[in-house]
Amino acid sequence: MSLFGLTRKLTRPTDEMVTAGHADFLRGYSIEVMPRTAASVPDFRAALPAGTRVYIAHIQGTPIADMVATARRLARDGFAVMPHFPARIIPDRATLADWIAQYRGEAGVDQALLLGGGVTSPAGDFDSSMQMIETGLFDGFTRLHVAGHPEGNRDIDGTARPDDPEAQTMKALRWKQDYANRSDATLAITTQFCFEAQPVIDWVNRINAAGVALPVHIGLAGPAKLQTMLKFALACGVGPSLRVLQRRALDLGKLLLPYEPTEVIADLAAHKAQVPDFAIEQAHLFPFGGIAATAAWAARG
C-alpha cells in the first residue's frame, strides 16, 4: 500500500458498476476541438450539453484568427471556452498578450489551458507554462488548467535524471500548486489520454504524495476505429497503457469493433467508490472518432 493508503488492487467492476461508473464519470465532461474539426459541426447546441467546457487545441501553424473565430462561435452558443496556449509555439510576450486580448475582447474568454506545446525547440521566449504564468498576463482569468501526464512526458523525460524520471515534472507541479494557493483563479490538471486505470491511479497517488492536491480532469479517448486510435496514441506518446490497444488489435473478435473507454471508466469509478476523495474531478474527452459521434456516445450514458 502506498502513502495515503490509496493504491489498491482494482476490483473488477460488475455490470451495475460499469453502467453507474460510465454515467458518473461523464457527467459534466469537457471536450476538445480544433478549428477545422469544429467547422464540421453544424450546430454545437444540438450535439453538446448546454454549458459544456470546450477546449480549443492550438496546433502549430494554426492562424490565431481561426482560433479566435472558433472561440467566438462557441461562446456565442453558450459554451465555456478554454483555448490552449502552447508555450513553445508563442514567439514572445507581445504575441501572448495579443492572443489573450483577442480571445477576451472577441469571445469573452476567461479560461485557458497552459502547456509546453509538444515541440522540441521553442519558437521564442517561452519554454513552459510557468513562464507564461509569470508574465502576469493571465491575471483576471477565472480558471487555468495545466497539463498532466500520468504515463510520462516524452518532451521532458528525455532530459530527466535516470534515477528519478519524474523529478522535473513533479517540481513543476509543486510550483503550480504553490501558484494555485496564492491565486484567485481555480487551477486544475488536465491529463493526456490513457487507456488503463491503474497508471492513472498510481500517478495521482504520486503527485498527492509530492504535495500536489490540484483536482484532476482525466483525459479519455472517445470512441473511434482501432486504427485511428492507435495512430493518435503513437503520435501523442501514450505510455504503457497502449498495451490495451495492442492486445485488442490481436483479438480478431474485437479488431473491427470501435474502441470505447468503457473499461477504464468503470475501473476508475470502482476506485473512486473505494476512495471517495480520489482527486479525479471530471472527464475530458478527446473526440478522435468525431465530435458528434463522441457527444452522442457520451449522451447514451
**Residue 168: which region, alpha, beta or left (left: phi > 0; alpha: psi -120 to 50)?**
alpha
Alpha helices, DSSP H, located in 48-193: 64-76, 93-107, 129-134, 154-157, 167-182
Distance CA 75, CA 106 (A): 9
C-alpha cell at 41: 459541426
Q: What is the CATH number of the domain that holds 91?
A: 3.20.20.220
Going by the DSSP 8-state scheme, the letter that residue 211 receives in this structure is: T
143-148 and 186-193 as β-strands: parallel, antiparallel, unpaired? Answer: parallel
pTM: 0.86
Task: Kindly give the parts of the chain with pLDDT less than 70.
Answer: 1-22, 153-163, 232-257, 301
The per-residue pLDDT for 230 is: 74
Distance CA 269, CA 275 (A): 10
Query: Could you report the per-residue pLDDT of 224-248, keeping only the tens digit for each?
Result: 887 777 776 666 666 665 666 666 5
Query: Domain tally for the chain?
Result: 1
The per-residue pLDDT for 246 is: 65
C-alpha cell at 291: 465530435
Query: Could you report the per-residue pLDDT of 174-198, keeping only the tens digit for each?
Result: 999 999 999 999 999 999 888 889 9
Going by the DSSP 8-state scheme, the letter that residue 163 receives in this structure is: T
Tell which residue, 73, 68, 142, 77, has the closest CA to residue 110: 142
The per-residue pLDDT for 300 is: 82
Judge whether 273 and 16 are in contact, CB under 8 Å. no
**Domain interval for residue 283:** 3-300
- HSE-CB at 174 with a 13 A cutoff on CA atoms is 10
Rg (CA), the chain: 19
The per-residue pLDDT for 236 is: 65
**Residue 84: which region, alpha, beta or left (left: phi > 0; alpha: psi -120 to 50)?**
beta
Burial (CB < 10 A; 0-12, 13-18, 19+), residue 145, is: buried
The per-residue pLDDT for 228 is: 74
Distance CA 129, CA 152 (A): 17
